[in-house]
Structure 1
Amino acid sequence: MDPEIAGWLQSVLRTIGYQHRDRMYADVESVLRLFQNFLVPKAETYTHDDGRSQLLLSLIGTVPIVYQSATYNIPVAFWLPTSYPSVAPIVFVTPTALMLVKAGKYVDISGRCYHPYLAYWSNRSDSNLVELIGIMQGVFSQEPPVYAKSNTSSQQQQQQQQASPAVGGGYPSPTTSLRPAPPILSYTSRQTTSSTMSSSQQQQQQQQPSDLSQQQQNRYPSPSNFGLSTQQLTPQQAQLYTKLQSALLEFNTASSREMDNLVNVNKQLNDAENRTKAELQSLRDLNSKIQHNIVTLNRCTEQLNSKIEQIRTWPEEPVDEIICGSSVVHNQLFELVAEEIAIEDTIYYLDQALSQDKVELNAYMKHVRNLSREQFMKKALIKKVKAQLGHVE
């Protein structure tokens, strides 16, 4: 890694306050070594779903894929939380102005990427950023997450608009690096690009060596593609031209971020609408059940009132005639049992009076003796009547 980039990265990790700086540095260094021409580190402000903003380290640029024998560069952004690697990175597809996100199995309409590797990140001790990027490359190769809005000419125009960022692509200090950098590469097929070149340009490319610097020349259009030549510009015009390019890039980046925020807000509103509809349907079902219960309760109330009115019309019956035995013997048994219970209660209250010194002992003994004799006779007669009725004790 370049010493300047390494120093900047160490400073950013300390400034933001990452918990595992050594692991972060090692993983980012591995990514930059493997994707040095595709991804660049930036310190940017990330807005979470709950509206909370936080300064995080991100890797912004593109990842190359091969789709139907053609090579494409997918614009992406990898956000690294402060508790990385305990928490999985946040991955977004960041389409340029002439691209649209293609929602699929692993990418939603806002560009947010989902994958089982991210879902089960914390369950694996060997989860790392390099392996994640490789998995994303495989996923994007099977199902590209973006597509162009218009034809090849519009794609070439987008390439021309992205050619100038190479001028200002340095590594600022952590306190001034809140401005996001534009994507390094555009989503264009190398076959399509080569087909638009003249035959003389293609022959010239075939004669050039395939080293890293030549690949960069093929990937970025020259200033002449913008309809201007650097030889035709004065120093003041060239300086103004560079400022205009930077201002345009800042505007495009701000517009893209605002569009992402609007997409997220729209998604939250749609989710809230779905929840509201579900809650409304639940309330409607509950209201239907309540109405049914009210109808049932009114019907039962009417039946009860009718029954009460019917009972009120019944003639009154003497209680003594209702509560009686079915024969003379049963009536005799009923009376004997009542008298025997009355005697027992009388003896009980005599005991209470004696204990409270309300009756003398001689009077108590006399009355208890008489009552006990009478109670014995009642019990003997009850036993005899029960035997006559066939009740066996």
Structure 2
Amino acid sequence: MDPEIAEWLKQQYQQRDRTYADVEAVLRLFHNFLVPKPETYTHDNGRSQLLLSLIGTIPIMYQSVTYNIPVAFWLPTSYPSVAPYVFVTPTALMLVKAGKHVDISGRCYHPYLAYWSNRTESSLAELIGIMQEVFSQEPPVYAKPNVTQQQQQSSPIIGGYPSPSSSLRPAPPILKYSPRQTAASSVSASQQPGVIPQQLQNRYPSPSPYGSGTQQLTPQQAQLYTKLQSALLEFNTASSREMDNLVTVNKQLNDAETRTKAELQSLRDFDAQVQHQNTIMTRCIEQLNLNIEKIRSWPEEPVDEIICGTSVVHNQLFELVAEEIAIEDTIYYLGKALSQDKVELNAYMKASAKTGKVIRSNFTGIIKVF
């Protein structure tokens, strides 16, 4: 394995040692036929994630002939707690044949994946052996009807995956799965890679188990193929629209999240300012309460002693002026009582005469003071 990929794997995966060991075991068995590389994997909910993938081909034995099936194994970051994602990846010259363990999109299903165990009983190499056995019984791909034999012979590389017969490297083994054996023990040390016949030009089986790789489709099969192709196109179009909508909604949610965080930060700043002002107000109230208690503790002073003149003369003047003001108030209220017939005229005249004498006496006293 490339050192950079190995270092990245050890940083991104939870059980890095187990994952590295399983990948190394597979690469030793399928050297240069399965290539590890970090690739972006899109989950069913639209979330994208960078995962380690093993992309290439695995050999199968179908009708005593070896075929190379293009596949891709994706390892989730929680591997081996979670089973790998297995896909058949047909080239431009092939089509996916949906069956018991493969859907129209190429996704592979098997009870071994459904009941995956993170213990040593389940491993990536053993999974590949099971996929080889399943594909040998029901091939997942077949050649397009309009691909001629001459086009298939023109290139030793089919769909970008290396063909064992086009290179000097031996073909990888076809693993045999046994429920009581591990993937490593299922391959005998003395097993030799099979030899691909020279006359075999199409390395992928035909859609029918009873026909050859170059067999033409019947009208019914062609009609069914057309319907499936149309349905797949409609599905892809609908999926693209839905994906665009999801991307738009995701962008809107991200923008709303950004605005919400900004508003939340603003509210937090405002709350901090309010708390600061509240602290200042509390301190001022406490200071005012202290001042009030201090004032209440002061002794009471007699008003008559506080409001007085600075000398005897000023005190006499103060008393005379106060008495004059009191007499004026008395005359005012006597006149008001007379107008309301509450006081008789004789009583009013007597009181006014007496008050007038007092006023003259006070006036004379004021003159003497000055």
Give me the TM-score of the superposition, normalised by structure 2: 0.44
Between structures 1 and 2, the one with greater helix share: 1
> Based on CA coordinates, which of the two structures has the bigger radius of gyration?
2
Higher relative contact order (CA 8 A, sep 6+): 1
